[in-house]
Amino acid sequence: MKPTPSTLALVPFVSVDDMMKIVNTIGPARMIAEIATYIEADFLRWEQFDKTPRVASHSREGVIELMPTSDGETYGFKYVNGHPANMARGFQTVTAFGVLANVANGYPVLLSEMTILTALRTAATSVVAAKYLAPKGAKTMAMIGNGAQCEFQALGFREVLGIETVRLYDIDPAATAKAAKNLEGHGLTVVPCKTAEDAVAGAQIITTCTADKQYATILTDNMVGAGVHLNAIGGDCPGKTELHRDILLRSDIFVEYPPQTRIEGEIQQLDDDHAVTELWQVIAGKTEGRRDARQITLFDSVGFATEDFSALRYIRDQLERTGHFVELDMLADPDDTRDLFGMVQRAG
């Protein structure tokens, strides 16, 4: 049935409760894998998208950002914050919501929470990159930073790439204990570690995901050996990094969108003309990813709007499958499109 203007005024809304039900209906690992297929498909049509660095409003406390994009038929954006001090004050470090809209008439077609969804899509993006960049047959991953993203990364890498062992380290032992407990029964060998050096020992994939908004050295040069894949996902704003600069100079660096990553990613430590490769070009077969067993590959991920677009597109496709959403009456719908005042007056 063709939607009428009155039905178009009702917008599907996925609340936090709905999102949790969707995740538990499908399963978190399976959901990460399915979102990864959407992200990969959209990377393959990269040139169709409008692309711009996220619009950021920085303060001493953190950052509030809008991340817009469009493929010409559907427009999407995410609102997201990043406030590292929030945890100590009892708030989430990152919260988000997102919208999809029909380009043809400008009407929104989905409103969704994205705090949970961002965690899922970040893990999904990581596994898409690792699919092309990580050493073949990798079985052990180190997770440096065991906060809100940790478990999603571990489950995604197990589901898609067959990771068997995850080695955990956080400066807060309680975070490591939390992650280890949450990962029980998910088919992984979980090894809590007391130092970052211990965590990376024997790992073919190293993921860094820390929250402090500062130039930090989570990994020093001597901690990264030949053949390792680095998945650096914690650096996502100016003035925030995790890797020593010398690691970058030894690595082949892959990014989402260079104009954004040069501002926010690990490569803000390097000259603007330092060579990087866009991940979509590897996925599309236009350039090589991992070439040999000794190569150090670095996915300098800051999160990009197309990935959120992919995740929202995926969620919209799951509404009928799961039924976990409500419809919001959020668009004015006068019988006469010119008579908005009359509609308001008659409602009184």
Measured CA to CA, the distance from residue 235 to residue 260 in angstroms comes to 12
Measured CA to CA, the distance from residue 166 to residue 66 in angstroms comes to 33
Residue 122 located in a structural domain: no
Domain that holds residue 248: 127-304
- Structure token digits, residue 319: 């509404």
Angstrom CA distances, 15 to 21, 58, 113, 141, 219, stand at: 10, 27, 6, 33, 37
What are the φ/ψ torsions at residue 86 (nearest 5 degrees)? -60, -40
Residue 121 located in a structural domain: no
Q: Is the pLDDT of residue 118 over 80?
A: yes
Instruction: Check: CB of residue 177 under 8 Å from CB of residue 152.
Output: no
Tokens 């969108």 sit on residue: 257
| Count of structural domains, the chain | 2
Is 224 exposed, middle or buried, given 0-12, 13-18 or 19+ CB atoms closer than 10 A?
A: buried
Rg (CA), the chain: 21
Q: Which amino acid is at 311?
A: A
Same domain, 300 and 313: no
Angstrom CA distances, 253 to 133, 154, 213, 230, stand at: 10, 22, 22, 9
Measured CA to CA, the distance from residue 194 to residue 25 in angstroms comes to 35
Same domain, 34 and 109: yes
Instruction: Check: CB of residue 265 under 8 Å from CB of residue 302.
Output: yes
Instruction: State residue 81's pLDDT score.
Output: 92
- Structure token digits, residue 160: 């898609």
Instruction: State residue 346's pLDDT score.
Output: 92
Same domain, 137 and 230: yes
Give the residue numbers marked as catalytic: 236
Q: Is the pLDDT of residue 1 over 60?
A: no
Tokens 């990581």 sit on residue: 126
Same domain, 192 and 295: yes
The set of residues, in sequence order, having a beta carbon less than 8 Å from that of 123 and lying 6+ positions away, is 32, 149, 152, 153, 155, 156, 157
**DSSP state letter for 284:** T
The set of residues, in sequence order, having a beta carbon less than 8 Å from that of 142 and lying 6+ positions away, is 166, 167, 168, 169, 193, 199, 200, 203, 205, 206, 207
Residue 245 located in a structural domain: yes
What's 154's domain CATH number? 3.40.50.720
Same domain, 150 and 292: yes
pLDDT in tens, 191-215: 999 999 999 999 999 999 886 656 6
What's 21's domain CATH number? 3.30.1780.10
Instruction: State residue 3's pLDDT score.
Output: 46
Of the listed ranges 160-169, 195-204, 208-217, 300-309, the one predicted with least confidence: 208-217
Nearest-CA neighbor of 301 among 248, 240, 238, 254?
254
pTM: 0.93
Q: Is the pLDDT of residue 4 over 80?
A: no
Residue 107 located in a structural domain: yes
